[in-house]
Every structure is written in structure tokens, then in C-alpha cells.
Amino acid sequence: MNLLRTKSIEQSIADADEPGRKLKRSLSTWDLMIMGVAVAVGAGIFSVGAKAAANFSGPAVTLSFAIAAVTCALAIMCYAEFATAIPVAGSAYVFTYATMGELLAWIIGWNLILELFTAAAVIAKYWGIYLSKVFALMGADIPPAISLGGVDLYWGAFLIVAVFTVLLVLGTKLSARVGNVFTLIKIGVVLFVIVVGFTYVKFENYTPFIPAAEPTGGAGAADVLKQSFFGFLTGAAPAQYGTLGIFAGAALVFFAFIGFDVVATSAEEVKNPQKTLPRGIFGGLAVVTLLYILVSLALTGMVSYTQLAEAKSPTLTTAFEAVGDTSAAKVIAFGSLVGLTTVIMVLLMGLSRVVLAMSRDGLLPRALSKTSDKRSTPVRLQIICGAAVALVAGLTNVDLLEEMINIGTLSAFVVVSLGILVLRKKRPDLKPAFRVPFGKVLPVVSAVLCLYLMTNLAVETWIFFAIWLAIGLAIYFAYGQRHSRLNERFATANTAVNGGPVEAGTPSGSADDEDELTRA
């Protein structure tokens, strides 16, 4: 059993053209930029920025966003180099398969499913709650959940997931057009927040810019589980704020940048990916980072971080209500709804593309990788993903797993960053359209930063992550490893080289095949 066998880049590209499992190239640079903004603006601005300021960073949440942005930019450079060399669906999973072998590729693919599935479910649930808030502002009292046999059903999550599942089934380009409209609306709302927010800024709210570290007030088991893994390993008492608080805040707001690895999963649906992918990804990241920093400055300048910390679930609306601007709060509630809408769409698309890539390779059931002859979309798979997300978002307390999104993303970023070094060594003949500058330095820095941010996530998040990995490994050895198409080719090549009979219906192999398949 060779768990380090890799799949050649040529084979990955060939598999992407397999009849009945192909995706249509229809996305432009503009579509990719908007996609990145669509999935990022909303997740960060409307949910985690205020929480990070209140509980971790104080006014220095701006630095938390900057650190997260730099970390993301370094990792995304590695994604861009990979994506221009291997422009197929699957993102980090495909990149890892080509460099570090099948087992690690499965782990990364499994982590991407964790990231995208959990993110889609969490945001869908938030969307339903914001929808009820918008109705309330209009004078209609419609609760976000209805009780069915003692179980709370968040009906809004079912509604929004169903709508975008249908749109994604109808076509990626159509979904992108709808997403473009929503994204432009929410950018307008964000600009409104920035302009109006700065009119309420009081510079004394920025001091102290980095609040002194202080204990969280407990040392019980629950408190230990909530502290950062780094603090747990170093024996530090559970605390918040201070320099470590900035990095803890960065680990939390990193959730706001998950969109850009999702954009890389669409590589197979991009026109002229060698030029389009880098431009689209970096253009979107630049816009998002600027918006985040401006909003965080407005937020922490409007009200003291201590005032935000007093709220049970601080948001941008909390800040505007604190300064008495209820009309702005209404606009933000509407913007939050619109903002989260496009996030769900891109996450649902990314989830189906990762599963598509893994099922093409036989690590998940091959039937899931079938695409529609008419629309070139994975209809069956998209419906399955949509139904699963809707059920979890609508029927469970999925928001408890919010940090799981970050740890899944960061683990993929670490492997992709290191994978660039492996790719360059194994395939010096490749000439990707984009190449990470400064040789080995930036990929290594990217991996170290991502790993450090991972250690700033809570102890309980690491425990859940370990459980998730254990489940994934059990599935791989029970199903994926035995049904892997690469495993079948490997066995066939060995049989042919050793002079044994080749099973009927199996492609023939050669010594060259075996050398390619065993290269690790």
C-alpha cells in the first residue's frame, strides 16, 4: 500500500476533460474578483469583526485584519502558482495530490469539506436570523425559527440554500451574474457604513490601541477549552487582549478571508486561467482588505471596545445603536442580509467542486462526479450538497462550530504553501503563468504564519478537529483507498511490468506508468 503515490498533473488535466464529468469554462477576471469579494465581504464585516474587537484585540482589531490579510495573501500566492499550473477543480486537494501523495490529499480534501460545509451551514443560519431582523424593522414579527415536535427549524436557512442550489444547477455563469448584482449592492452598503461611521468617530476610543492583557476570570475546564491552543501548550493562564490577543483576533477574523481559496476551486470553469486566476484572486483580495480595515477603524472609533464587550453578540449594528443612529442600523441589517446571500452561493459552489474532484478520483463514490450534458454542472452533487447544508443549518446549533471553518482553511493553506516547494523540485519543467517571488522564502513564511494562527484557535476547536480527522481517516481506509482510481492504475501498471495478466476492462500499464504513479 503506497500512501504517498502522487497523481501526475497531466492525468489531473486529462481527467477534467472526461466526457460526462466536464465543467464549462465561462468565468472571467471580473467574475473571479466579484466572487472573492462576494464570499468575503459579509462573512467578516457583518459577523466577526466586532466580536474580535470586543473579546480579543480591542481597537487593534485593525492589526488583526492586517495580519490575517498578509497571511492570506502569502497563501493565495501559492494557490495562484498551483492553479495556473493545474487549472482544474478541487483546489488544495488537487494540488496536494500532485505533490505530497494520496493520503495527505484525502486529509486536505476532507478538511476543505469541513471548511466549506460548516461555513455554508453557519452563514445560512445567520442569514435566516438576519431575515427576521429585517422583517422586524419593517414592523413584521416573523421568528427566525418555528418549532416542529420540539425541534427548532430555522426556515430561512432552507429557503436561501434552496434558491442558490437551483441557480448553481442551472449554470455557473448565471449564478455569477446574480451574485454580481448582490455583491455590488453590499459594497454600496459597506461604503455607507464607512462614510457614516467615520462621522461618529471619537479618537479617545482608539486608546489604548492595544489593551493590556487581562485574565478571562476563570480557570475551570470550560475556560481552558476556550483558551488558545498556543496558551494551553505554553501553560499561560487564560487571558484576553494584549499582543497575543491581536493574533487570537487574527485567527478569528481569518474567517473573513476564506473566500479566496474557494475562488481557486473554480479554476476549471475559468476562461484563460493562466492570466485570469491571478488577476481575479489578487484584485478581490485587495478590495476586501481595504474595506475591512476601513470598517474596523470606523467600528472601534465609534464606540469603545469595552462597550462592545458588554453586548452578548456584538455586531456593527451594536455600534450604530450605541451612538443613537437607528436608521443606519436598519441599512446595516439589510446589508447584512444581502452580504451573507452571496457568501452562501460561493460556498455551495466550492463545496460541490471539491467533492466533484475527490469523486472523480474514486476517493468518494464516482457517481457524484457526473455532470449535466446540457448545462455542464454537477446537478446531482449540487442538490445533495444543498440538501445536507440546509438540514444541518436548519436543524442544528451549527454556529458552535464556527472556528472549525478557520482550522480547516488554515490546514489547507499550510500544505499548499509547502506543496509549492515540492512542486518546483519535482517538476522544474513547469512554467506556471504566476510564480511566488523570492524563491523558497515566502512559501515557508506563509506556512509558518498559517500554522501559528492555527495554534491561536481554541483548545476545543482542536479537539473537534482531531475527531473530524479520525472520522476522515476511517472513511479513507474503509472506502477511498480501495476505490481510488490511482490505486487501480498503480496495480495495473505493476501487473503489466511483472508480466502477469491484466484484468479485462482495465487500462494497460507500462514501466513508465509505474514510474509516474510511484513518484512521490
Q: What is the pLDDT of residue 217?
A: 55
In the chain, count of helices (H) and strands (E)?
23, 4
Closest CA to 464 of 388, 405, 391: 405
Which pLDDT score is estimated for 250? 84
Q: How is residue 298 written as a grid cell? A: 470606523
Distance of CA 65 to the CA centre of its chain: 16
Classify residue 91 as left (phi > 0), alpha (psi -120 to 50) or beta: left
State how far the Cα of 412 lies from the Cα of 408, in Å rounded to an integer.
Answer: 7
For the chain, residues with pLDDT lower than 70 are: 1-2, 42-47, 89, 172-173, 216-224, 236-239, 255, 258-259, 265-267, 399-400, 490-520
- Specify burial of residue 399 (Cβ count, 10 A radius: 0-12, 13-18, 19+): middle
Between CA 452 and CA 231 the distance in angstroms is 12
- Residues 444 and 451: their CA atoms lie apart, in Å, by 11
Q: What are phi and psi of 186, to 5 degrees?
A: -75, -30
- pLDDT number for residue 332: 77
Cα separation, 233 vs 228, whole angstroms: 9
Interval 219-275: pLDDT, tens: 445 566 777 777 777 776 666 788 888 888 887 787 677 667 777 766 677 777 777
- Cα distance between residue 325 and residue 334, in whole Å: 15
Residue with cell 461611521: 197
> For residue 148, what pLDDT is reported?
77
pTM metric for this prediction: 0.78
Q: What does the pLDDT read at residue 211?
A: 87
Q: Which has the closest alpha carbon to 78: 450, 453, 455?
A: 450
In terms of Cβ atoms closer than 10 Å to its own Cβ (0-12, 13-18, 19+), residue 113 is buried
CB 256 within 8 A of CB 291: no
Dist. CA 211–CA 237, nearest whole Å? 17
The model's pLDDT over 169-190, given as tens digits with 9 standing for 90+, comes to 887 667 777 777 888 888 888 8
Q: Can you give the C-alpha Rg of the chain in angstroms?
A: 23
**Torsion over CA of 294, 296, 300 and 301, rounded to 10 degrees?**
0
In angstroms, the Cα distances linking 56 to 247, 250, 436 are 8, 9, 32
Distance CA 462, CA 109 (A): 18
Contact 381, 369 (CB under 8 A): yes
- Whether cis (ω within 30° of 0) applies to the bond prior to 208 is yes
First and final C-alpha spacing in the chain: 13
User: Given CA atoms 490, 492, 494, 496 in this order, what sign does their dihedral have?
Assistant: negative
Cell of 183: 455583491
> Which three cell numbers mark 128?
435566516
**Tell me, what's the pLDDT at 468?**
92
CA distances from 301 to 285, 316, 322 (A): 24, 12, 12
Phi and psi at residue 378, to the nearest 5°: -80, 80
Cβ-in-10-Å burial (0-12, 13-18, 19+) of 178 comes to: middle
Q: What is the pLDDT of residue 443?
A: 92
DSSP string, 442-471: HHHHHHHHHHHHHHTSBHHHHHHHHHHHHH
CB 8 within 8 A of CB 94: no
Spatial separation of the C-alpha atoms in residues 223 and 54, rounded to whole Å: 17
Rounded Cα distance, 84 and 436, in Å: 12
Q: Supply the pLDDT for residue 469.
A: 93
